[in-house]
Structure 1
Amino acid sequence: MSATTLIARDELRLMARNRVAVIALGLLAALTVVATLSSWAHQRGITELRARHQHAAQAAFDAQPDRHPHRMVHYGTFIFRPLGALAAFDPGVDAFTGNSMFLEGHRQNTANFGDVRQSSLLVRFGQLTPAFVLQAVAPLLLIFLGYGVIARESERGTLRVLMMQGAGRGQIMRGKLLALGGVAILVAFPALIGLLAVSGQPGAQGWPLAALILGYGAYLALWVLLIALASAWAKRSRDALLILIAGWAIVVVLLPRIAPDAASAAIPLANRLQTDIAIARDLRAMGDAHNPDDPHFAAFKRSVLDRYGVTRVEDLPVNYKGLLGIEGERLTSALFDRYTAESYDAQARQKAIVQAAGLLSPAIALRSASMAAAGTDFAAHRSFLEQAEAYRYTLVQRLNRMQAQDVSYANDTAADADADRRKRVSAANWKAMPDFRYRAPGGGSLALRAFPGIAVIIAWLTGAGLLLALATRRLGELR
């Protein structure tokens, strides 16, 4: 048996004799199992609830009686964002962004009913998920188990004894890393089993799963190297423990909390009220379709009359009010899209600041990669919002065209007792409307979005490995 293996075996035996370490490892395993089961049950409950509400909303829309098409524009419909299978491992921003939207004409609503606004305040501080356990709790356990792997040998004088017995510096370090790495595997094993179980659900994809395994594996390997590095450089075990605890607090707790606040302060976002006021101001400046003297819509009216070769809207082969609805929705949607694009641009710059902070905190980089691979980051939420807006615009314009083609202008402007009945179209038209179908990103796309965060962790891993190589050369020197 090689010296490296013997040293690793002795280190593991020493850890096994530490009852506190064994109990802590068992508690972490139990916590991971509980987190996996609770997160899985929560995700399945949310998925079933949203699917049920989505079906009810579609059924309510389809069940509407004969109506005027413009009434259906304002009746609108609800849509709900479905969750992917890996959301049970890392729910990401889903609890904060909202999960349902009301789609109607002339408005671009935001997503509502996020879990944070409806649940305990504890949700704001992070849910108990396998991702959270591996990101925050597992490194802390590794620190308490491994802070003395080298420093303890130096304090006791056994490091020189090992070297006098023929063990090289590299063998000693590799043995310690092998032991601590074995513990890291034990720490990650329950979460890995949970991840594999979650990935067995319908809709799970292989590439995001591989990205998660790679990211979390590199993250725990990084902590193994950092713990060994601190223990090799510190003169005493106590010093190594203080250094590692301080580093964990900064990297895992402090920076992930400060970075988003710093990004918000550097690039402020307009709130909903400010945006609504700005949009209302621009809408007034844009024009009023009900004002015959409005420059834009007066020019629009002339262009329509010229196109059909008539002099009065009553002589048009289509309903002019429906054409007005089409033009008005085009203008307002373009305005909404402009403000939305500005908001997305500001959020992208905020995200760039947070990702830059990932260079100082591998926990931020891992969190970004984990949410991206699980399909629960803001990019996935943005994709849902964009698909929802595309569906809303198509639905509203289809109803506007129905008014233009299926309701005559004479009936639409009539005020006699029977006019309301003549303005209606068949309820069969609502059933023919296509339902909203969310198109989830492909597995390759999710894995690609996770790559920058994983690359940062690997860069940290490389740097820690180089520093550890330098520290290994100093093993046994008088300090």
Structure 2
Amino acid sequence: MSPAYLIARDEIRLMRRNRVAMVAFVLLLLLTLAAVVTSWSHRQSIADLRQRHQAAAEKAFDTQPNRHPHRVVHYGHFIFRPLGPLAAFDPGVDAFTGNSMFLEGHRQNTANFGDVRQSSLLIRFGQLTPAFVLQAVAPLLLIFLGYGAIARERERGTLRPLMVQGASRGQIVAGKFGALGLVALLAGLPAMLGFALIAGQPGAQGLPMLVIALGYAAYLALWAVLILLTSALVHRSRDALLALLALWAVLVVLLPRVAPDIASAAVPLGNRMQTDVAVARDLRTMGDSHNPDDPHFAQFKQSVLARYGVARVEDLPVNYKGLLGMEGERMTSALFDRYAAQSFDAQERQNALVHGVGLLSPAIALRAMSMAAAGTDFAGHRRFLEQAEAYRYDLVQRLNRLQADAVSYADDTAEDPEADRRKRVSAGYWQKMPDFTFRQPDGSSLAAAALPGLAVLIFWLALAAGALALVTRRLGAR
């Protein structure tokens, strides 16, 4: 038999004899299985809840009575962000960003009702998901199982006798890595079972799942290499354990928590109140559609009259107030989009800084890769906001156009007792309005977004493997 195989088999036997390690391994498997079941159940319940609320909101909008179109503009509409299947593995930022929006005219609202604001504060420290278990808990188990893999042989004086008996330095390290790699594979197996569950669901995409599997395999392999590298560099098992625990604390706990704070300090992001004040200030300078002497809207009025070849708004074949509403919505929406773009740009720069710190922490790179492939990262949240705004603008402009076409200017400006009834349009119009449909990106787009994080993990793995190869060449030397 190959010496590497014999060494791996002996290492596995030593791990099996360690009752504490075996108990920890079994607990990790149970924890991962529990994370798969609870995360999948939570995702299903959340998806069902949002679907029911969306159906109720659409029914409430469609069953409105006969109304003036502009009242429907202010009546508004609720929409909810649906969750993709991979959110059961890694929910990403969904719990923090909110999942529903109220759409109305003249305003661009933010997403609301994030799980963090409605649940225990413990959710801020990480949800029990397969991604969290593999990112934080699995490396810790590997450390306790493998910290003495090589240092123990040096302490016992069995390293050189192994080489005398014909085992090369490379075979010794390969055998140790094989044993630790097998443990890492078994630790990730329950999560792969969760993947199999996800794969059978409608909308599941194979390419992002493949990228996620490769990323987590590279991450666990990296920790196996780092553990062997540290164990080979120090002379005592105790020192290896302390060094690896410190490394885990820095890479998995400290840097992922500190990086967002560094990004927030480097790129300040205005809060909602500051943005609302700035928007209100700019709105005052844009013009007042209710002021006949306002320069912009006076010019708009003349352009409308010239387009239809009439001298008065009363002679227009359409309702001027509807056209005025369309122009006002166009201007305010452009302003809202400008502030939204500034906010998105600041958040993108913050994320770029966090991803830059990912060069120092594979846990950050893994998290970015995992969320990007699952479609639950900031880019996914931004897609929802942009699609929601596009739908809001289209809906409001449809209602403004309805006012222009279906309500006469004479009735719209009349004040007699029957004027209110004449201003209303048939309730059938509300049922003809299109429903909101969130368009998920295709699998290739999600996989492409995850490739930078995967590249960082592979870089870390190659660097650690190269360092281990150099240390292996001097293994056992005096």
Q: TM-score range by the shorter chain?
A: over 0.9
Q: Residues of 2 paired with 1:435 and 1:190: CA distance?
A: 39
Shift of 1:186: 1.0
Aligned to 2:473: 473
Aligned to 2:329: 329
Aligned to 1:101: 101
Q: Residues of 1 paired with 2:29 and 2:202: CA distance?
A: 26
The percentage of counterpart residues that share the same residue type is: 73
Shift of 1:217: 0.2
Q: Residues of 2 paired with 1:73 and 1:154: CA distance?
A: 76
SS at match of 1:66: coil
Shift of 1:364: 0.0
CA displacement, residues 57-91 of structure 1 (integer Å, 9 cap, x when unaligned): 00000000111000000001000000000101000
Aligned to 1:24: 24
SS at match of 1:26: helix
Aligned to 2:288: 288
TM-score norm. by structure 1 comes to: 0.99
Aligned to 1:170: 170
Q: Residues of 2 paired with 1:311 and 1:261: CA distance?
A: 61
Q: Residues of 2 paired with 1:53 and 1:464: CA distance?
A: 50
Aligned to 1:394: 394
CA displacement, residues 236-295 of structure 1 (integer Å, 9 cap, x when unaligned): 111111111000000000000000010000000010000000000000010100001111
Q: Residues of 1 paired with 2:363 and 2:455: CA distance?
A: 13
Aligned pairs for 1:46-57 within 5 A:
46-57=46-57
Aligned to 2:38: 38
Aligned to 2:440: 440
Q: Cα RMSD (Å) of the superposition?
A: 0.6
Shift of 1:198: 2.0
Aligned to 1:73: 73
Shift of 1:199: 2.4
Shift of 1:477: 1.2
Q: Residues of 2 paired with 1:349 and 1:296: CA distance?
A: 36
The alignment covers a number of residue pairs equal to 478
CA displacement, residues 129-182 of structure 1 (integer Å, 9 cap, x when unaligned): 000000000000000000000000001000011011111101111011001101
TM-score norm. by structure 2 comes to: 0.99
Aligned pairs for 1:48-447 within 5 A:
48-447=48-447
Shift of 1:213: 0.3
SS at match of 2:112: coil
Q: Residues of 1 paired with 2:125 and 2:229: CA distance?
A: 31
**Structure 2: tracts of 5 or more residues without a match:** none
SS at match of 1:78: strand
Shift of 1:191: 1.2
Q: Residues of 2 paired with 1:123 and 1:22: CA distance?
A: 29
SS at match of 2:101: strand
Q: Residues of 2 paired with 1:204 and 1:26: CA distance?
A: 30
Shift of 1:192: 1.2
**Structure 1: tracts of 5 or more residues without a match:** none
Q: Residues of 2 paired with 1:202 and 1:294: CA distance?
A: 54
Q: Residues of 1 paired with 2:321 and 2:250: CA distance?
A: 62
Q: Structure 1 counterpart of 2:190, which letter?
A: P
Shift of 1:201: 1.3
CA displacement, residues 96-139 of structure 1 (integer Å, 9 cap, x when unaligned): 00000000000000000000000001011110000000000000
Aligned to 1:464: 464
Q: Residues of 2 paired with 1:62 and 1:184: CA distance?
A: 54
Misfit runs of 4+, over 6 Å: none
Shift of 1:306: 1.2
SS at match of 2:27: helix
Q: Structure 1 counterpart of 2:59, which letter?
A: A
